[in-house]
Amino acid sequence: IVESGEEGAIINCCFGHKTNDTIGRALTSILSARFGSSVAMQIDPYRIELTLPKVLLAEEIAKLIEEMNPEYVEPILEMTLKNTTLLRWKMVHVARKFGALSRDVDYQRVSMNKLLAVFEGTPMYREALREIYHDRLDLPRARGVLEKIRDRSIWVATSSISPIGTCGRGGGRDVTSPEHADAAVIDLLKNRIMNDRVLLFCVNCKRWKSMRVVERLPDKPECPLCGSRMVAALKPWEEEEINVVKKPEKKKTAEDRRRAKRVFRNANLVLSYGKTAAIALASRGLGPETAARVVGKMRSNELEFYRDILKAEREYARTKRFWG
């Protein structure tokens, strides 16, 4: 039974919390797109309560439910989940499991919208969705309910707001917002890189190394011992590469020579582009080759530089094996 009034609508449906949550989220996505503004939802095992930006007749909502295609529920859910706190926080926990986020990160200062924009389409993103589908939703049963509504095995009736509908009110609401491009994701990316650290190593004298925060790097890093600007900007966990470079040539294997050559390419990039190269090299998954393509591209502003880094990071996240 669909009930509507000035404060919104209540759909009385005793399908259980998971099934109601699944149907409710798909429905709020459709309504949010229709109104172009947020639609709040409250769920319990017996009803779905909607807070709408404008009054909608119960008959209109009933028609939307009857027209919902069961096959479209999952793609609709994915679209709407990424604009909810549920997926945002699930993404944090999954990213920590994959090692993509440090446990020391102050999550209260990180926008989950921006985090999702960085990792969308990656194995971490798909794992977060999988956990939500398993733990919080019931896609098979929701599809079954919608199939029965379509073939009239389940009828959708309408009514004005009743005591039965309002008795479940209370508790928190989840809000679905219309999807939009979040330009601030570039700010998140820049801030993250600037707060990351790089391991500087002089490939000229091979005697100096120093861990530095990217933001505090000079425009043209140089070795304080020999004055050379042939300084590689390595990731903090690449210290073993320094030992490889220091190894006597006669003792180096073919793999050692390949790794050493990569460090020298890194240093050449920093020599040519300074701090800009270090920023690219501090990004996730960007080695000297990819970083060279990013910093060597002509751009009109800094925003485009970070946008290219974001594209490169996303490509890395799509192809990297997070297991094994």
Residue range 1-15: mean pLDDT, rounded: 85
String of DSSP letters for 101-143: S-TT--GGGS-HHHHHHHHTTSHHHHHHHHHHHHHT--HHHHH
Give the pair of three-digit tokens for residue 180.
């939009």
**107 pLDDT above the threshold of 80:** no
Residue range 135-149: mean pLDDT, rounded: 92
Give the pair of three-digit tokens for residue 83.
């604009």
State the pLDDT confidence band at 85, using cuts at 50, 70 and 90: low
Helix and strand numbers (H, E) in the chain are 14, 9
Q: At what angle do helices 73-81 and 17-35 cross, to 10 degrees?
A: 70
Does an H or E element contain 175, and which? strand 174-176
**72 pLDDT above the threshold of 80:** yes
> What pLDDT was estimated at residue 179?
42
State the pLDDT confidence band at 269, using cuts at 50, 70 and 90: very high
> What pLDDT was estimated at residue 171?
43
> What pLDDT was estimated at residue 182?
46
Residue 228 CB neighbours (<10 A): 15
Give the residue with greater pLDDT, 301 vs 179: 301
What SS3 class is residue 298?
coil
**Least confident range of 37-41, 107-111, 277-281:** 107-111
Largest separation between any pair of C-alpha atoms in the chain:
86
**Residue 298: exposed, middle, or buried by beta-carbon count in 10 A (0-12, 13-18, 19+)?**
exposed
String of DSSP letters for 62-94: HHHHHH--GGGHHHHHHHHHTTSHHHHHHHHHH
What is the pTM for the complete model shown? 0.48
Give the residue with greater pLDDT, 80 vs 63: 63
**298 pLDDT above the threshold of 80:** no
Give the residue with greater pLDDT, 298 vs 95: 95
Give the pair of three-digit tokens for residue 187.
């700010």
Backbone angles phi, psi at 216, to 5 degrees: -95, 5
> What pLDDT was estimated at residue 153?
92
State the pLDDT confidence band at 173, using cuts at 50, 70 and 90: very low
**Least confident range of 42-56, 123-137, 167-181, 299-313:** 167-181
> What pLDDT was estimated at residue 132?
86
257-273: burial string, b at 16+ Cβ within 10 Å, e else: eebbebbeebbbbbbeb
Give the residue with greater pLDDT, 65 vs 111: 65
Backbone angles phi, psi at 178, to 5 degrees: -65, 140
Cα 67 to Cα 59: distance, rounded to the nearest angstrom: 12
CA dihedral 217, 222, 223, 225 (to 10 degrees): -120
What SS3 class is residue 199?
strand
Residue range 1-23: mean pLDDT, rounded: 87
**Residue 279: exposed, middle, or buried by beta-carbon count in 10 A (0-12, 13-18, 19+)?**
buried
State the pLDDT confidence band at 291, using cuts at 50, 70 and 90: very high
pLDDT of 25-38, one tens digit each? 889 888 877 766 66
State the pLDDT confidence band at 170, using cuts at 50, 70 and 90: very low
Instruction: With beta carbons less than 8 A apart as the criterion, state whether 173 and 51 touch.
Output: yes
**81 pLDDT above the threshold of 80:** no
**54 pLDDT above the threshold of 80:** no
Give the residue with greater pLDDT, 245 vs 101: 245
Strand partners, 2: 11, 158
Q: What is the mean pLDDT of the chain?
A: 82
> What pLDDT was estimated at residue 166?
56
Cα 131 to Cα 235: distance, rounded to the nearest angstrom: 31
**320 pLDDT above the threshold of 90:** no
Which amino acid is present at 12? Answer: N
Instruction: With beta carbons less than 8 A apart as the criterion, state whether 17 and 23 touch.
Output: no
> What pLDDT was estimated at residue 184?
61
Return the closest-CA partner of residue 91 out of 131, 51, 53, 59: 131
